[in-house]
Amino acid sequence: MLKDVFVPQEDIKAQFEAAQRVKEITGGGKKAYIATFGCQQNEADSERLMGLCRLMGYEKTYILEEAELIIFNTCAIREHAELKVFSKAGGLRKLKEKNRRIVTAVCGCMAEQSHRREKFLTSYPYIDFIFGTDRLHMLPQMVENALKGKKLKVYISGLSHDKFGVIAEGLPVVRESNYKAWVSVMYGCNNFCTYCVVPYVRGRERSRRSADVLAEVEALVKAGYKDITLLGQNVNSYKGEYSFPELLRRAASFEGDYWIRFMTSHPKDASKELIDVMAENPKIAPHFHLPMQSGDNRILELMNRRYTVEQYMEKAAYIKEKIPHVALSSDIICGYPTETEEEFENTVKAVDKVGFDMLFTFVYSPRIGTPAAEMEQVEHKIKTERFARLSALENLRAEELNSRFAGQTVKVLSDGLQDGIYKGRTGQNKIISFTLPQGFDEEKAAAGKFLQVKVTKAAAYTLEGEATE
């Protein structure tokens, strides 16, 4: 394990002190707004940022106009995600003109890319500072600097230049939910899939200590959390004191009724041992997300995925065979550079053959600095046409697969009443809406409660049912 990636606790303490100074400067009682773009890792990061905000005397708000500290936690995975950030960031100008005391910041994956930083610095001068994915723990120091009018605008260690990045333990956290939680087990990625920007913006793989992860999970279970997701770009390469399967097994061994999930697995190293652990442990939710990316071996090789379609199929079959009622989901990229019609057809066939409960389909988006961006590109029209074709197939397959739940009684974690309808999730992470039979105690269907629901209708992406006593 890499010992030197941990931020020294005295540095964390220094941030806590900076937070106190910020509170003294502002007088406290202010509000912070964090806009989170992209994946669960960013959501988890934002919860820690909000923890630091609270320490500095800023409470969470969802109303941009009432915030005096505004942070955009950005995503760089596809161009679409970046454009969303740019369009929202423009709105900060007016707020800043109205109130000069507002502090504005940009962080996350876009901040790690020099060409994006350039754009923020030149086109968005009302952004006070930009910080990288491994500078998150320094928020109090950065806010203090901004409040004191320091002109230091960029806090970046340069993860794209082979730096490892850090792990900061002991940060406060303000979670979005009081029954669902993210627990990061590792950060970064070493895989360098040729289309992907993640290894350049999140640094090399580094794992939290198993004891720290397990202590966090145990505390969450004790606090009544019911749905806990272990997070990492590639959880199978977790290298703590325990292997990932063992960590998962232990995380699912605390007393109480709860689900453990994990994201994301790489097919090249999702092991039989991991699948067996899932099969044996009812607290591990029966959902396996295993990104296939393409169903053609030449494209997989170009992607640097290091598995073949046949190997993928074998793992998918093992998962379906071993884990009762499992939902298998996947990611597919349409129109990777040089992908031919025939190669895309191979993907369509593979998707049809495996049968995914959920498929996240993406149009390939060139990312500056990645090898695939330099290859011969597929025309945009063809990419979107392939995307549409695959989505149509998946709608049919998902509906077919969902019909297996019709008539069954399933365990559901309620998300409570939403627009007059009870909603929740099954262990497979499927959305289910349900009614309560007459006389059913509403308390038992409140958000964060487990209950049994009999499925009466199964459409492609939603189930419907009625709670049973």
Distance CA 308, CA 303 (A): 11
**Residue nearer to ligand 5AD on the CB measure, 23 or 84:** 84
Closest CB to ligand 5AD among residues 78, 116 = 78
CA distance 161 to 180: 35
Choose from ligand SF4, ligand 5AD, none: what does 365 bind? Cβ within 5-8 Å by kind. Answer: ligand 5AD
Contacted entry of ligand 5AD, ligand SF4, none for residue 15, CB cut-off 5 to 8 Å set by kind: none
Which of the residues 151 through 190 are near ligand SF4 (CB under 6 A)?
189
**Contact flags string 196-235 toward ligand SF4, x per CB under 6 A:** x-xx---------------------------------xx-
CB of 266 to ligand SF4, least distance (A): 5
364 binds, among ligand SF4, ligand 5AD, none (CB under 5 to 8 A by kind): ligand 5AD
| Selection from 323, 330, 461 nearest residue 400 by Cα | 461
CB nearer ligand SF4, residue 70 or residue 372:
372
Smallest distance, ligand SF4 to C-beta of residue 360, A: 12
**How far apart are CB 320 and ligand 5AD at their closest, in Å?**
20
**333 binds, options ligand SF4, ligand 5AD, none, Cβ within 5 to 8 A by partner type:** ligand 5AD
Shortest distance (Å) from residue 365 CB to ligand SF4: 13
Residue 192 binds which one of ligand SF4, ligand 5AD, none, with CB within 5 to 8 A depending on kind? ligand SF4
Q: Which residue has the tokens 């409660």?
A: 449
State which residue, 62 or 360, has the beta carbon closest to ligand 5AD: 360
**Distance in Å from the first CA to the final CA of the chain:** 49
Of residues 262 through 291, those in contact with ligand SF4 by CB under 6 A are 266
Closer by beta carbon to ligand 5AD, 106 or else 109: 109
Using the rule CB under 6 A, is 360 a contact of ligand SF4? no
Nearer to ligand 5AD, 181 or 333 (CB): 333
Determine the Cα–Cα distance for residues 200 and 215; give it in Å rounded to an integer.
Answer: 30
- Residues at the interface with ligand SF4 (CB under 6 A): 189, 191-193, 196, 198-199, 233-234, 266
